[in-house]
């Protein structure tokens, strides 16, 4: 009701398009390879769209994105517990994890890589990388900024604990862009610290030095192209990639649930239409970021981190990443409408 009252009248065409898209997603899922998984995926898409819409109805107070970033930084505390916990702690955690991901979680705990409440360390890393520029932009030489400082330190520590090269690299890129926009010396110092963290992560990961993650990504993308060729016009349906990928006829390093590339997964599941929808959404996000850049570069770069991650991963398929990102996009949309004209 709150959101509806803040929505201008005369948007019947928009609602018709949204309803039609939801219907097509449902139909594609029911006719695809995995209808049960499709229902879950469609529910997440609807939840993300609802969060964007509700958050965009009214411009938030200036500090709300940073407050969300503080909450995200708290995940580092859980990550510290995971990394420092012993076998008894690991056993207690595994008891409460669903059976279908228990084996993967056990591997993460054994590797001493933090993942907090997320399914993978890289998903925690991309959340922290999203939060960091929102916190750094609020740093001032005053004691009142102490909460932002503590949260920013937690983000950097958490990134190190995940040992995720792509997560640290995205944080480094986001903070570099913010340093260019704001031209503050303290931001340059953070960029240098993140560069050091990236070096430590890469050197400390033997599999990264052997290019194992890169080879697995290439296998995943080859699989995505093959899945698409099985139904080049319509795709294999909503959430159908995981089942279709099990039938890949050539040798691959793994048979994942996702393609580790959102545009390729949408190409495989929805055909050329899915790929074009991704391009349309990417261009729309880019235009929104450009409108925010002059007055809120921190929010602009934070909004870009998770979509960039999903060119190489699948973090948007988890509500723990998708919902916070949807809030940021909605707030950015609202702020772009209320921003003064520039140029």
Instruction: Say if CB 166 and CB 309 are below 8 A apart.
Output: yes
Per residue in 6-39, pLDDT (tens digit) is 556 455 556 556 666 766 676 666 666 677 788 8
Which residues, in sequence order, are CB contacts of 137 under 8 Å at separation 6+?
66, 178, 182, 297, 298
Does the model's pTM come out above 0.85? Answer: yes
Taking the C-alpha atoms of residue 16 and residue 22, their distance in angstroms, rounded to an integer, is 10
Per residue in 270-302, pLDDT (tens digit) is 999 999 999 999 999 999 999 999 999 999 999
Which residues, in sequence order, are CB contacts of 70 under 8 Å at separation 6+?
131, 135, 147, 148, 151
205 has pLDDT over 80: yes
What residue has token string 């969300």?
68
The residue that leads in pLDDT, 149 or 96, is 149
In this prediction, residue 167 carries a pLDDT of: 97
Taking the C-alpha atoms of residue 226 and residue 236, their distance in angstroms, rounded to an integer, is 11
Residue 247 gets which letter from DSSP?
Answer: T
What's the rounded mean pLDDT across residues 208-230?
Answer: 95
Instruction: Say if CB 292 and CB 342 are below 8 A apart.
Output: no
Task: Please count the CA atoms within 13 angstroms of the CA of 57 that sit on its side-chain side.
Answer: 14
Taking the C-alpha atoms of residue 281 and residue 4, their distance in angstroms, rounded to an integer, is 23
Per residue in 323-336, pLDDT (tens digit) is 999 999 999 999 99
In this prediction, residue 42 carries a pLDDT of: 87
In this prediction, residue 227 carries a pLDDT of: 97
Tell me phi and psi for residue 162, to 5 degrees. -70, -25
What's the rounded mean pLDDT across residues 88-93?
Answer: 76
Q: How far is CA 64 from the centre of its chain?
A: 19
The residue that leads in pLDDT, 46 or 33, is 46
Lowest-confidence range among 100-104, 240-244, 275-279? 100-104
What percent of the chain clears pLDDT 90, i.e. is strictly above it? 68
Taking the C-alpha atoms of residue 12 and residue 1, their distance in angstroms, rounded to an integer, is 17
Instruction: Say if CB 255 and CB 245 are below 8 A apart.
Output: yes
Task: Give the pLDDT band (50/70/90) at residue 211.
Answer: very high
3 has pLDDT over 80: no
Task: Give the pLDDT band (50/70/90) at residue 112.
Answer: confident
Per residue in 166-194, pLDDT (tens digit) is 999 999 999 999 999 998 888 999 999 99
Strands (E) in 139-262, as ranges, are none
Whole-number CA gyration radius for the chain: 21
In this prediction, residue 343 carries a pLDDT of: 43
What residue has token string 């990264």?
208
What's the rounded mean pLDDT across residues 209-230?
Answer: 95
Which residues, in sequence order, are CB contacts of 328 under 8 Å at separation 6+?
55, 65, 68, 130, 299, 302, 303
Task: Give the pLDDT band (50/70/90) at residue 342.
Answer: very low
Residue 170 gets which letter from DSSP?
Answer: H
Per residue in 122-166, pLDDT (tens digit) is 999 999 999 999 999 999 888 889 999 999 999 999 999 999 999
């Amino acid at each position: 009701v709150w959101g509806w009252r803040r929505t201008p009248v005369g948007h019947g065409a928009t609602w018709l398009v949204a309803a039609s898209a939801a219907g097509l997603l449902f139909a594609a899922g029911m006719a695809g390879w995995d209808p049960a998984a499709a229902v879950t995926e469609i529910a997440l898409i609807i939840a993300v769209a609802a969060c964007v819409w509700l958050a965009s109805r009214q411009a938030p107070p200036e500090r709300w994105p940073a407050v969300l970033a503080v909450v995200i930084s708290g995940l580092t505390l859980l990550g510290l517990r995971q990394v420092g916990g012993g076998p008894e702690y690991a056993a207690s955690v595994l008891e409460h994890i669903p059976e279908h991901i228990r084996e993967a979680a056990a591997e993460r705990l054994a590797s001493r890589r933090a993942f907090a409440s997320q399914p993978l360390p890289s998903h925690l890393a991309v959340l922290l990388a999203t939060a960091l520029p929102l916190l750094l932009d609020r740093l001032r030489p005053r004691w009142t900024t102490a909460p932002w400082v503590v949260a920013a330190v937690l983000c950097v520590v958490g990134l190190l604990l995940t040992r995720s090269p792509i997560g640290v690299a995205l944080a480094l890129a986001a903070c570099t862009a913010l340093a260019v926009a704001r031209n503050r010396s303290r931001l340059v110092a953070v960029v240098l610290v993140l560069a050091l963290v990236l070096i430590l992560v890469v050197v400390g990961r033997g599999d990264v030095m052997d290019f194992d993650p890169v080879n697995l990504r290439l296998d995943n993308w080859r699989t995505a192209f093959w899945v698409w060729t099985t139904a080049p016009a319509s795709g294999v349906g909503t959430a159908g990639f995981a089942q279709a990928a099990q039938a890949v006829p050539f040798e691959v390093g793994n048979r994942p649930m996702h393609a580790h590339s959102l545009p390729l997964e949408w190409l495989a599941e929805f055909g050329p239409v899915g790929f074009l929808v991704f391009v349309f959404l990417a261009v729309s996000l880019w235009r929104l970021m450009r409108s925010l850049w002059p007055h809120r570069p921190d929010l602009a770069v934070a909004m870009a981190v998770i979509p960039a991650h999903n060119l190489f991963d699948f973090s948007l398929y988890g509500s723990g990443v998708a919902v916070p990102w949807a809030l940021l996009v909605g707030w950015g949309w609202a702020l772009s409408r209320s921003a003064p004209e520039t140029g």
